[in-house]
Each structure stands twice: as structure tokens, then as C-alpha cells.
Structure 1
């Protein structure tokens, strides 16, 4: 049995890799392609039925996926966009859940309002990976990507809290608004507290314990599970624990990780997250036979009509919410008008259209209990089918049309003054490097040509350093080469210190700073390995 399961997992990993390469070849975002491929594969005769356990998603898949998204999110950008992120991740989730609740209870016979809120909680959160993977490589403003990524970090927590309250209401038949609101803030707030407490502990471990790159990388994988399980144990939001802890550690990572740890963990995490995302999306497609098998008394035409209507309504609801949420604060607040540039209706539409659903919705639907008071849970199979169709409908319709719409609307990335920022950061790094050379290597600069050239054309001399002076026998020249390499390594350290000052001064974007840090990591690794 274990051999069969292991073979199935390995086969899935292989299929995901092959299909992802194919999706890149034909130019389709891989989450969309994998869901459709999984759907087609599920109809192949003799294919084993694969059941996606909700515990697998919530415990195995969700923590690292959320942690990775939080780690790659700039806290500075997140905080600057907190108003639109909050309106989408909390306000829109509640608005969507409420609208779906009243709509579904009106069109589906026997579907209560509490059942409607349960369905609304399931399908209200857009998926993080789907939106960002579709937008990858497209020229859209950085703020749009920041808002969508920030929304996806928090909306899972909001929707799961709505989902829990709906389950409790169905089970007990009671719902008290003020208690629900109080519990919402307790669950969310304490989830953040748990995440930050564990993040501070791990920060201390990374900074003061004698870790190695392998230990640091291993700890980064353990961390999201610690945060999620600890928060869920106390019935707080595990999602917000992982998100808050991940944002904190990412913001402080430059203080605790050496270049080897950063490089190793980056490459390992990219591989693992790619495989986890791929497996999750192909498993969504493979679920259709299991979902359809449980429809029972409903006809296919009935459930498809319900699902399509609700799918269209979720898309329209997002558009209705996003435009007032974008422009009303500008009308009501002079501070907002002065602080933020007016967003165009085209970029606002991209945010409104990027509401693709994903694995959290399906996992929530699968997490609905099988029974209630000893009987089959009412409408469970119908909720599962509607959820599957909403995921498929939004992924295919919105996901495939989004690149075309961006080109049609002629949306371009203004670069957010990136050219000027690059000039600033390059000038500051060059200045501190030259000052250090003149203070510590004045003699070498006057005696050896490479030192003089480095003052004028630093990058070209780095490219020549290893090839020009490594294969010589003269002891004096070998000593010079060692001193030269030592100086280059020391200059990398000086640049790191200046990067920290640039981050503190907030004159450049976090994205550009991280790019420069990665360049310095690679530069230091090459210099040390060549020595």
C-alpha cells in the first residue's frame, strides 16, 4: 500500500513538472492549465480516484504556501496599501459571503440562510497563486500586484472565520451578531499575537545560535507549521499567525541570515513551493468525479445552473465593491488624495477582475462534516459541486482573459520611478566602495593597475579578476591577488552596510533592495569560492 501511494505521489510530481513546461510553451498560466489537465485526466478510464483531504490542505499545504507568500511580500508596500488590502480581504469577503447567502437561499429550494453563509464563506476568498501567476511577466503597476498579494494573505483567514461561524450556526441554530463580531476580532487578533511571538523566538534562534545554512533552511520550513498548529490549538486563526510571523521574519531577515543561508533557502523554497502549488491545482481538477458522484437527487442541469449563476454573481460583486472602495476614500479624505496618486479605471478593473478562486475554497467545502445529528449533512454535495464550478469558472474565464484585457486596456507599468531609484542605490554603493578603497588600499591603488581601474569601472574589473590573476606563479603577484580578492570581499560587506542604511532611510523600494542583496550574495559566494 505504501509503495502504491509513493508511486502515485512521484507520478503526480512528474506530471506537474511536465504540464508546467507545456503551459509555459503555450503561454497559459500553470494553475489554470493544471486544473484543466487534472479535470481531463480524471476521465481517463482506469485512473485511480484521488480524494483531497481537507486536513492535507489546511495542515500540509496551506502553512508553507502562506509563509512563502508572506516572506516575498514587502512589509513596507503591504503597510502602505493597508487600506485597499483591508477593504478587499475583510470587507469584500463579508460582502461576498452575505450576497451569496441571500442569493443561494433564494434560488435553491430548501437552502437556508445559514447554509448560504456557509457557501459564501467557502467561495469568497480569491486564490493567491492564481492571480500572481497570471500577472507574472505582464506589465502592470507594482501597486496592483501588492494589493492582490496582500489581499490573498488575509482573505483566507476572513473567509475561514465566516465558515466557522456558519458551521456553528447550522449546528446550534443560534447566531448573535455582537458575539460573532467579538469572536472575529479575538480569533484574528490572537492569531496575529501567536504568530509574532513564535516569530520573535525564531528570530532569536537564527540570530544568536550557531546555525548553519542547512539548519536555517530547515527552520524556515518548520516555522510556518509551528505558527499554524499553535494558533489552531488555541482555536485562533492559524492563517493570520503564519502571515504575521512570515512578514515579521521577512522584514528582519537581513539581520539574521548569512549570504549562504539566504541563497540556499531561496532555491530550496522555490522548488518546494512550485511542487506544492502544482500538486494542489492538479488535485483540484482530479476531484470532479468524486464531487459529481455525490450529487444524489439533484439533476446535472439544476446544479450547473445554480453554480453558473453564483459564479457570475461573485464576479459582479467584486467589481461592484472594488470601484467604490477605490474612489470613495479619495472623495471623502483629503489626506488620501494628497498621499496617493489617482488610480486609473483600467488598473482598478484589473484588481476587480483578478478574483480567481482556488484550493482554500475547495478544502473548506471538503471540510464540511459528513453528518449532522446523525444524518447526512444537508446540501453538502451541492456545496461541493458549486464550489468546484466557481473555481473552474473563475480560473478559466478570468484567468485566460486577464492578459488579453491588460493588453486591450493598454495598461503599462510606470516603473514607479525605478530608474531614479537605481541611480540612487548604484551611486551610494559606488561611493562607499570607493571611499573604503581610498582609506584602506591607497598604496595598492598607486602600485597596481587593477586597483586603479576598479575606481573607474568596478564591474568590469570584477569580471577580469579571477581570469587575469589566478594562474600565475610569482609569489608577489599571488599575494597581490589575495589582497585584491580580500578587498573585494570587504567591499561587499561595506555595500551590505549601506544597503541597511538605504532600507532604513526608505529611499528605494524593498523589491530593488532585495535584488541588490541577491546580487551581493552571488558576488560574495563567487569571491569566496574562487579563493
Structure 2
């Protein structure tokens, strides 16, 4: 039994790697491609059915994925866009849940309003990975990416809380708005408190105890699980615990990690998140055989009609909320500058659903508290699956075309100037240190003089660029060829290193160390 499950998991991981390479070749975002391929693989006769247990998603996949997203989010940018993020992560979730509840109650016969809110809570949160993965490699304004990433960090918490209250109402038939509101703030607030408390303990461990790069990396992997499980144990929001703790430690990371810890942790996390994301999306596609069982009471026309109407409602509601919310924000706050309508539409169109929605639907119990079958459970699963496919595949595949059609471009002006200023400040600091601490060596040793000349050139080039005196044609004419030359030298040295390895006269450890140095140099040149 264990061997069969391990073989299945390893096979899926291998399939994720192979299909991701194919998606790269076809220039299709890998979450979309993996869902489609999982769907096609799932309907092949003889393929074993793969059941996605909701506890596995919430406990195994969700904490590290959210933690990685929080770690890569700038707290400063997040706080600057807090109004827009809050309106999407909280306001839009509640608005979508309400709209879906009313439409489903009106559209589907004998579908109670409590089940409508349950369905709304399930399909209201856009996926934490899908939008940013689809936008990866596409030049879009930084503020758009910040808002989408910030929304995806928090909306899982708000939607899961809505789901929890709606499920309780469906099971017991009782719902009190005042109590639900109080419980919402308590669940979210205490989840944040637990996340920050654990993050402070981990900060102390990383900073003051004698850790190694391997220990630091291991602790970063353990951290999101520790935060999530601790918060959920006390029935608070594990999502808010992971997000708040991740943001805190990310903001303090420069104080607690050495350069080799950062390099090792980055490599490990990049591979881990790639495999987790890939596994999640292929598992979504593989759920179809399980989902379509138990739907005999509905005709195929009814099923498709209900699912498509609700899918369209989720898309339209998001568009309406984004544009009206942007208008109201500017009216309420004169300091807030409204984005271009093209950028607002991009945010509105990037509401792809994913694994949290499917896991929530699968978490709906089979029976009510009185032992009767949970009403419309199979229909809830099917509608959720179609909403995920509709938003992920249809919106995701059309996103690149919409960006080109609306002529949305990355706003590089401020970033480019800031990059030059940063380069100037770093070079000036290094130059001042040399002149203050090594005056004799600078006058007598050629190696010191060459370093000083290098930093003086960097300062001079940066100043001329800031003063608009550096010709624009000079950079593209000189730097690309110079960088190619440096990369060629790395390749030549690497080739010679392979010859040394084949001669079998030199230590393997020394050869591996030199190879790692060349890897770091090549990575720096390719940035």
C-alpha cells in the first residue's frame, strides 16, 4: 500500500517536471497547462483515480505556498497598496459570496441561501499562484503585481472564514450576523498574533543562536507549518498566521541570514515551491472522475448551464467591484492616485481560482448533523471544478492577448533611476572606505589602485546617467559585448575544469568548489 502511494507520488512529480518543460516549449503558463493535462490524463481508461484530500491541501500544500508568497512580497509595497488589497481581499470576497449566493439560490431549484453562501465562500478567492505564474515573464506595472500578490495572500483567510460560517449555518440552520462578524475579527486577529509571536521566536533563533546554512534552511521550511498548525489548533486563522509571520521574517531577513544561508535557502525553496505548485495543479485536473460521480440526478445541460452562469457571475462581479472600488477609493482619499483603466481591467481579469477553492469544496461533509446526506454536495463540487477551469484556462490563456491588446507596459522610469542611485551609493561607500582605511596601499600597490579605479568609473558612469549626459547608445553598444566576453571566459574556465577532472590527479572537493564559484559568477553575469 505504501509502495503504491509512493510510486504514484513519484510518478506525478516526474509528470510535473516533464509537462512543465513542455509548457515552456509551448509558451503556456505551467499552472494552466498542468490543469489541462491532468484533466486529459484523468479521463484515460485504466488510469488510477487520484483523490485529493482537503486536509492534505490545507496542511501540506497551503502553508509553504503562502509563506513563499509572503516572503517574496515587499512589506513596504504591500503597506502602500493596503487600501486596494483590503478591498479585494475582504470586500470582494464578501461581495462575491453574496452575489453567488443570491444567483445560485434563484437559479438552482431547492438550493437554500445558506448553501449559496457556502458556494460563494468556496469560489470567491483567486489562487495565490495562478495569477502571478501567468504574469511571470510579462512586463506589467509593478503596482498591479503588488496588488494581485497582496490580495492572494489574504483572501484565502477571508474566504475560508466565510466558508466556515456558511458551513455551520448549513449544518445547524442557525446564523447570527453579529456573532459571525465578531468571530471573524477574532479568528483573523488572533491568527496574526500567533504568527507574529512564532516569527519573533524564530527571529531570535536565527539571529542569536549558532545556526548553519542547512539549519537556517530547515527552519524556514518548518516555520510555515509551525505557524499554521499552532493557529489552527486553537481554531484561529492559520492562513493569517503564516502570512503575518512570513512578512515579518522577510522584512527582517537581512538581519538574520548570512549570504550562504540565503543562497542555499533560495535554491531549496525555489525547487520546493515549483514541485508543490505543479503537483497541486495537476491534481486539480485529475479530480474530474471523482467529481462527476453522483451527478445522475442532473442532466448534462443543467450542469453546464448552472456552472457557466455562476462562472460568468464570478468574473463580472470582480470587474464591477474593481472599477467601482477604484472610483470610490479616489473619491474618499484625495491623496490616492487612480491607476489607468487598462491596469484596473488587468487586475479585474486576473481572478483565476485554484486549489483552495477545490479543497474547500471537497471539505464539505458527506452528511448533515442528523445523518442525512448533505444536499447538493456533488453539484457544489462540479460547479467549483468548472469555475476553476473557466477562470484558470479561459482567463489565463487570454491574459497575454489582453495585455497586448490594451498595450499595458511596465512603468520602468522610477525603478531605472532608483537602480542607478543605489549603484552610485554603493560605489561611493566602497570608494570612501578605500580612501579612508587604505591610503598607503592605494599609492603603492597596483591591485588596490585597480580596485579604486573600478569604483571611480562606476561612480562616474552613474553620475553621468543621472545627469542625462551618458548617451543612450553607449550602453547597448558596449555592455552586451562585454558581458558576452565575460560569459565566454567562464565557459572556457569551465571547459578546462572538466579536463582537470578527467585527468584524475586533483581533489574532487577542490574541483567542486571551483565549479560552484563559476556557477555563482555565471549567475551574477546572467542577472
Q: TM-score range by the shorter chain?
A: 0.7 to 0.9
User: Does residue 141 of structure 2 align to residue 141 of structure 1?
Assistant: yes
Other structure's SS at 1:457 match: helix
Q: How do residues 289-438 of structure 1 correspond to structure 2 at under 5 angstroms?
A: 289-336=289-336, 340=337, 342-372=338-368, 373-438=370-435
Q: Which residue of 2 aligns with 1:176?
A: 176
Query: What is the distance in 1 between the residues matched to 2:21 and 2:235?
Result: 41
Which blocks of at least 5 consecutive residues in structure 2 are unaligned? 459-481, 494-516
Q: Which residue of 1 aligns with 2:52?
A: 52
Instruction: String of CA shifts for 1:236-279, please: whole Å, max 9, x gaps.
Output: 00000000000000000100001111110000000000000000
Instruction: String of CA shifts for 1:409-461, please: whole Å, max 9, x gaps.
Output: 0111111511210111111100110111112222222122232122222489x
User: Does residue 450 of structure 2 align to residue 453 of structure 1?
Assistant: yes
Other structure's SS at 2:44 match: coil
Query: What is the distance in 1 between the residues matched to 2:11 and 2:28?
Result: 22
Query: What is the distance in 2 between the residues matched to 1:304 and 1:43?
Result: 18
Q: Which residue of 1 aligns with 2:17?
A: 17
Q: How do residues 264-283 of structure 1 correspond to structure 2 at under 5 angstroms?
A: 264-283=264-283
Q: Which residue of 2 aligns with 1:516?
A: none
How many pairs does the alignment contain?
A: 468
Q: Which residue of 2 aligns with 1:512?
A: none
Which blocks of at least 5 consecutive residues in structure 1 are unaligned? 469-518, 527-531
Q: Residues 61 and 416 (structure 1 numbering): CA distance in 2 closer, same or farther, change over 3 Å? A: farther
Runs of 4 or more consecutive aligned structure 1 residues displaced over 4 Å after TM superposition: 463-468
Other structure's SS at 1:376 match: coil
CA drift at 1:333:
2.3
CA drift at 1:198:
0.4
Query: What is the distance in 2 between the residues matched to 1:256 and 1:211?
Result: 10
Query: What is the distance in 2 between the residues matched to 1:454 and 1:371?
Result: 74
Query: What is the distance in 1 between the residues matched to 2:107 and 2:324?
Result: 28
| TM-score for both structures, normalised by structure 2 | 0.86
CA drift at 1:522:
5.4
Instruction: String of CA shifts for 1:272-292, please: whole Å, max 9, x gaps.
Output: 000000000000000001000
Query: What is the distance in 2 between the residues matched to 1:296 and 1:366?
Result: 19
Other structure's SS at 2:335 match: helix
Query: What is the distance in 2 between the residues matched to 1:394 and 1:153?
Result: 19
Query: What is the distance in 2 between the residues matched to 1:436 and 1:347?
Result: 45
Q: Which residue of 1 aligns with 2:255?
A: 255
Query: What is the distance in 2 between the residues matched to 1:294 and 1:285?
Result: 18
Query: What is the distance in 2 between the residues matched to 1:94 and 1:416?
Result: 37
Query: What is the distance in 1 between the residues matched to 2:176 and 2:371?
Result: 26
Instruction: String of CA shifts for 1:328-385, please: whole Å, max 9, x gaps.
Output: 221232232xxx3x31110010000001000000000000011112121111100000
Instruction: String of CA shifts for 1:71-102, please: whole Å, max 9, x gaps.
Output: 00000000000000000000000000000000
Q: Which residue of 1 aligns with 2:497?
A: none
